[in-house]
Amino acid sequence: MVPPSADHADWLHRFTDKLRHLPDDQRQHSALAILDYVARPHAGHPEAVRNNDFVAAVNALSAGPEVPGLTEAYIHKYLDDLRLIGLLP
């Protein structure tokens, strides 16, 4: 982990506040349960991410689907949905 900064502390405070003010049904499906994990920033380790290993593991499943790619259209749909439920302006 890396030491927290003022920016991270501010982000965490705003994030926590927004999650706690969600309606009950949305709060139950939010990231509140993992706030301890994000309380301190984590260093990125892109070399540790092995996409090929993940794809191979999914493909080894007898009923496993192919790993789909994230398209630009999917990302826009996701952002639109977050706006629809009020999580993004």
Per-residue model confidence as pLDDT tens digits over 31-85 = 998 888 888 887 776 666 677 887 888 888 877 677 777 889 999 999 999 999 9
Tell me whether residue 68 is exposed, middle or buried, using C-beta atoms within 10 angstroms of its C-beta: 0 to 12, 13 to 18, 19 or more: exposed
Write out the DSSP string of 3-29: ---HHHHHHHHHHHHHHHTS-HHHHTT
Query: Quick one: pLDDT band at residue 21, thresholds 50, 70, 90?
Result: very high
Give the model's pLDDT for residue 19. Answer: 93
pLDDT over 60 (residue 1): no
